[in-house]
Chain A
Amino acid sequence: MPRRSLRLRLLFTFGLGALVLSSLFASLTYVGVQRVLVSDRQHTDLRDSFVNAALIRNTLYTSPPALPSLLYSIEQATSANVLVRTHHQWLSRSRGAVASDVPAGILAKVGAGQAAEQTISVGGHLLFVVGVPIPAVETTVYEIFQLDPLEHTLRTLLELLGVGALATTLMGIGGGLWASRRAVRPLERVSAAAALIAEGELTTRLAVGQADREVQRLTESFNAMVSRLVERMERDARFASDVSHELRSPLTTLTTTASILQQHRSELSPAAQESLDLLTADLSVFRSLVEDLLEIARSDAGATTLVIETVPAVELVRQAVRSAAQRHALSEPQIVVDGELDDVRVSVDRRRFERVVTNLIVNAHQYAGDAVAVRVSRRGDSLVLDVDDAGPGIPEDEREQVFARFFRGHAAHDRSASRGTGLGLALVRDHVTSFQGTITATDSPEGGARFEVVLPVREEGE
């Protein structure tokens, strides 16, 4: 099973990568900035507290009644609430924090004569509490700083980082899209070209242009591969064609001299007569084989020799059937035209079409007695040509194989007397395909085999 699309996977990987990286970066930034900001602030607040405590101590020494006004001015100058506990009494100008806000831990520590600090959260607000004992005057000073403004800054930072992370993720996806397209496009071009070549467009090559080095290399090796392949195919086709050509001359001499011997048959001994008959029969098989080989080599060599004409189908079939039957001295099968088809035209190479009909009729003769009927009908945009015989039919598992070159099915083994070239039906399929048609083997309604040729119907003027 193929894995999911490479493009999707690239896209997903890029997006996820960007998301993870940007989130990590944002979190680290947030935590770091928060730490620095808070500790800076606490540092400042702590210093302020000690300064304030010193002021309070001095005031308590010199003029205790001035304490409230001092506390007021301190609260004005800083954002702190100041609580003073002197001689077991709470003293505060503050409207915000109260004594109960001071955590017990601080109270205890300060009570023991130590300065203490703690960050607490009260009703969703962050508070920084500093306690400073002033033992000389039996006083303790507590200052409560609001960290809220800092929190606002941090929230803004968090929002900015979030937006940044989202933007980075989107850019990652965009980058993934670009990269995947760039990475996949050459692949798509290669697969499109390969598909064309598979369809027989052997001149297809990848465009060599400005491209990445890797793509350039792929392009070059792909083109080189196709060229080698085509060269190889051409060489094979040429070889078969050359061999057949070379065989033609001696074969011509053989058939001509055998025919002369046949003229003098009566002068020969019975053994010589029998030998001559065997020779003549096999020469005829040999001749068909050479012709078929040559034809198949030509069809392998490409469509260059195709001469396509658009002709009335029924007339074409009639001529081809008559020609095939007469050339091979076979009984002419009945031609059944189903419907008014006089105006129906098909595009074929006449000679190759004749070959198709001839081979089908000869095949029926060799393996199934004879063709009994040739039916012409129209099915939608197609012309259907059925060649039916009254033989044993073709086993289901051989219906595709019969079109393979040199395939010998059951019928061929059972009837050793009939000797085809093994290329007839392969040629038929090659030729029908070259007319953009199809051919299949099925059962005829009468029980024999049916070869069904389907050709596209051409409209007038096409």
Chain B
Amino acid sequence: MPRILIVEDDDHIRSALRLMFEGEGFDVDDAPSGEVGVALFSRMTADVAIVDVMLPGMSGFETCQALRATSDLPIVIVSARDETADVVLGLESGADDYVTKPFVPEELLARVRAHLRRRPDKHTHAFTLGRLKVVPDEGVVRRDDGTELHLTSTEFRLLTDLASVSGKVLSREDLLERVWGYDYFGDSRLVDVHIRRLRTKIEPDPASPVYLVTVRGAGYKLVL
């Protein structure tokens, strides 16, 4: 049974979410604050986390960073604000996805399931990006000195999906569908922020990318 960590300070919402996910067959750990959530997670590793942004004490963003520091689990941020700045901040603190309150419960459930369904792509052949070697069937990226470069599962998936179409352009919508597993149109900001984050890890100069390039008006492509 998949295990889900819910960090939410509102008792009612937390209980409702617990009921819903338990009803859907999840094992639920819930925490009223970021501190409790992180502590809980260190004892009972979850498969996916839902983190509210507005938390007393440790903020949702800080909670994301703390969880991300020890794990690649998919993190979905729940926010009462959907300003671009908030969304970007949330994603940059390590979240894989976000939904805004009041969300449609089915949508949140669908997103969580999509993240759980997602498995690393093992079919793409290993490839190199300058001094990096990407090995999809091992799920690792190695520098030329043999050390490993850490990518989150979403970042890894983004990279291998772009590689799998061998240099063709993928639109934001294509990427949302392939990487996030949404069969409906999501928010293109999700893609943009993750691309930016990926660039800071793999590009020699993230400001002028040479591997992960933007094709204006079309999407992104990986230059191998």
Contact = CB atoms under 8 A, between A and B. Distances in A.
Interface of A: 245, 247-257, 259-260, 263, 287, 290-291, 298, 305, 307, 311-312, 315, 319, 322-323, 326-327, 345, 350-351
Chain B interface, DSSP helix/strand/loop, else mixed: helix
Given A248-B101, A263-B23, A305-B84, A257 B185 contact: no
10 contacts: A249-B10, A249-B12, A256-B19, A259-B104, A260-B105, A291-B102, A315-B217, A322-B185, A351-B84, A351-B189
A129 B77 CA distance: 120
Interface string B1-25: 0000000001011011101100100
Contact of A252 (B13, B84, B85): B13
B102 A257 contact: no
Contacts of B83: 298, 305
A263 B12 CA distance: 19
B103 interface: yes
Interface residues of B, number: 27
B185 A255 contact: no
Interface of B: 10, 12-13, 15-17, 19-20, 23, 80, 82-85, 101-106, 173, 184-185, 187-189, 217
Contact of B16 (A247, A260, A298, A312): A260
A287 B189 CA distance: 23
B17 A248 contact: no
B173 A319 contact: yes
A96 to B, nearest CB: 108
Nearest to A460: B216
Contacts of B82: 351
B217 A312 contact: yes
B114 to A, nearest CB: 15
Given A311-B217, A319-B173, A327-B185, A253 B105 contact: no
A247 B80 CA distance: 10
A312 B187 CA distance: 17
Nearest to B108: A256
B20 A256 contact: yes
Contacts of A249: 10, 12-13, 80, 101
